[in-house]
Chains A and B, each alone.
Chain A
Amino acid sequence: MNINPEFRRNLWLELTPSRLVGMPLVLGVFFFLAYTMDDKQYGASVASTALTLFGLLAFLWGVRLASETLISELRDHTWDSQRMSVIGPWSMTWGKLLGSTIYPWYGALICLLVYLTSQPSLGLSLIETAVLLVGSGLLGQAVGFLSSLQAIRKNQRYGRLQTTIFLVLGVSCSLSLLNWPFEKASGIFWYNQSYRDEQFVLVSLVLFLAWTLLAIYRLLRAELQLKSQPWAWGLFVCFLMVYVAGFLNDGSMIDGQSIQQHRLLGAFIVSILLAYAMIFCESKDPVAFRRLLECLGRREWGRAMESFPLWLMTLSFVILTCLSLVGISFSSPSPEEASQIAISAMAMVLFLLRDFGIVLFLNFGRIPKRADMLTLLFLFLLYGAIPTILTALDLDSLAGCFWPVPGIPAEVILPAALVQTVVMLCLVARRWRYNLQMSS
């Protein structure tokens, strides 16, 4: 039988006989300590120790190892040979994700067993508890792995700071879902339907885990030189817009039309956030843009889609939801409020385009490595420092020229945003032409 080579390699590295013996011994010492300190009771104290150790092993150590698995391949110069292997992207996904974390999981599963057989305090059934804990651990590790993979695809740099960021991202994803059912007991109201907290969180956990694994699979496909089109990202954007919009069903908004508009606004904001996230996560390599433009010029649509930037694709969702918001405002029962939302949405799209212009302008410049950090600084100035100064000088309406503040008249905010956008896009076009001249 052919075992997944990547998983087998990790087994060789991680599960040495001494480590296999060491883990239960160390955990046993902690459990025995908890047992003796709790008047020799196999109860709450042992359970809480087991839960804490599970968290440390699965959420901290596991996420750290998953985040570093690919980084260590790059650091040790072994990734090229992996890329030339015949291992498929799915085998690579689970071989790396489960293989690199197999040792923490070995310990974590012992802890889970002890927790479930002692005195579990989560208020869930044993199966639900096991699925929730294991699923959260896997999600955190998958997010850590995904973020490191995305960072590597963006630029081949890696450092301690980046690894820490991946770790924080992974742990926060695990804990955000894990905390949910234990703190709330009121049930979840989603698209006017009530669900049990645990039920909803478990389904959400499975869905987000599936999306994260799919994202890893897709990025590994690209790393392994397999061609793909960006349909998966499009589906994820739709999923997240629908998922988040489902929570916008405040009891005070009885009017169906208003709820519909607010849900659309929620979806719009989700698409904007995803567009911003993607433009900072993806590489803005001008050579890749040239390749894309040349494919489009030759009308090779399939090949163009293979290298189509996901932020650009997300932008199409932003524009579509914005147009829907504008359209819906005409039929709204409260046209004033609806038109205010539509104006804000249009201004947000223009500001988004301006910001993307800044990102591209700096990335097409001489020092693209620092371009994203520099963009963040500019955005801080545009959205934070300048409006604050203008507000302090009692020039509130001018502050609205730099970000979509509600209440600013359309005739001020829209032309101001449009001018900035056009200026930025002209600058990008100029720099693009300059780059073309330099390379030819």
Chain B
Amino acid sequence: MIEVKDLVFEYPGKRALNGVSFRIKPGNITALVGPNGAGKTTLLRCMAALEVPLHGEIRIDGENINEDPRACHRKLGYLSDFFGLYDELSVRQCLLHAAASRGILANEQARVVEQAAIRLGIADRLEIKAGALSRGLRQRLAIAQAVVHEPQILMLDEPASGLDPEARHSLAELFLTLRDQGMTLIVSSHILSELDEYSTDMLVLREGRLLSHDLIEPQSVKTVSLKLSLSEPCHELQALLSGLPGVSAVNGDDSSAIISFNGDLADQHHLLKSLLGQGLPVCSFAEQQRNMQSAYLESVRHEEQREGVQ
């Protein structure tokens, strides 16, 4: 669906993207994460064909966006971090304008506007001026404008910034609904907790380079991280754990360990029983959620170690 190859973008005196390459499958909700200044917005703007890269190639559904950006615009919806609305227009007029400017025929416009408004939950506010909407509703209107032409891909730059927790949660639900309706989403954010709710994979950017492209493991997968703590150190802990059934990796020291364990809750019970049976002074044994935060930090740590080696 989206293929980025060796993308390089420079601002005068600064390389914002340095050889970024990845692929995104249709139906994914890809989280684009990284610290401020990592290049997230630049990458999204390049993918939205709003900026021309120095080198590299971006293909949307097989089409090179640098060759024909306007053809790709038909397949894309983009919401920038500082999106704008025509405050003096009503919600209906905003959506009608968006539909017309995205090439929807005049006799179709009223229908697609109603559809987008229902989809985004703003159908009861069509006659209200955009300037009179709350922050959360403005966000919904902006997304409705971006999806009014039914794009295949929706890109959102920091969509949840400035929203209250309730609005953030409903935004997450909205993204899942859009995904279920067949859209591919790319959501940039530096607030990782909000991305946990809906992301299927994560692109980690740092200083213009792609550190990793991780699949966020769904809950049904049986491999879990277990954290084990002992009340007293045991020198053979690592070796002992490695020999147990279902344990695929062990990290830690003599007093504690993080175990990658393949098994369900009953298997976890047997593991704990076996550890206690071998006389280990276990004082805590709990499953550790591998969330976006831990995956991101793992990527960053891995990169730092790599740089340290070099």
Contact = CB atoms under 8 A, between A and B. Distances in A.
Contacts of B93: 9, 12
A285 interface: yes
B74 A368 contact: no
Nearest to B145: A81
B13 A439 contact: yes
Interface in B102-124: 102-103, 105-106
Nearest to A16: B88
B85 A78 contact: yes
Contacts of B97: 5, 8-9
Contacts of B5: none
B301 interface: no
A287 B98 contact: no
Contacts of B145: 81
A362 to B, nearest CB: 12
Contact of A439 (B10, B50, B76): B10
A84 interface: yes
Given A1-B106, A9-B97, A81-B145, A224 B85 contact: no
Contact of A81 (B74, B88, B98): B98
A84 B50 contact: yes
Contacts of A80: 48, 50, 78, 80
Contact of A84 (B78, B86, B87): B78
Contacts of A290: 10, 54
A78 B86 contact: yes
Given A287-B12, A435-B13, A12 B70 contact: no
B279 interface: no
B220 interface: no
B48 A76 contact: no
Nearest to A95: B101
Contact of A9 (B73, B86, B146): B86
A13 B101 contact: no
B27 interface: no
A37 to B, nearest CB: 38
Nearest to B55: A294
B88 A13 contact: yes
Contacts of A299: none
Chain A CB within 10 A, most for which of B101, B106, B145: B101
A36 B74 CA distance: 60
Contacts of A77: 80, 82-84
Given A13-B89, A225-B49, A84 B11 contact: no
A13 B86 contact: yes
A156 to B, nearest CB: 12
Contact of A287 (B11, B49, B80): B11
A366 interface: yes
Interface in A273-308: 285-287, 290-291
Contacts of A1: 106
A296 to B, nearest CB: 15
Contacts of A226: 70
Contacts of A435: 13
A2 B105 contact: yes
A21 interface: no
A286 B13 CA distance: 9
A335 to B, nearest CB: 49
Contacts of A368: 12
B246 interface: no
A86 B102 contact: yes
Nearest to A82: B101
A120 B80 CA distance: 53
A225 B70 contact: yes
A186 interface: no
Interface in B198-242: none
A380 B224 CA distance: 72
Interface string A211-253: 0000000000000111000000000000000000000000000
B54 A287 contact: yes
10 contacts: A3-B100, A77-B82, A78-B84, A80-B48, A84-B73, A85-B73, A86-B70, A86-B73, A285-B12, A287-B54
The list of the 5 closest CB pairs from A to B, nearest first, reads A77-B84, A5-B100, A85-B101, A86-B103, A225-B69
Interface of B: 10-13, 15, 48-50, 52, 54, 69-70, 73-74, 76, 78, 80, 82-89, 93, 97-98, 100-103, 105-106, 145-146
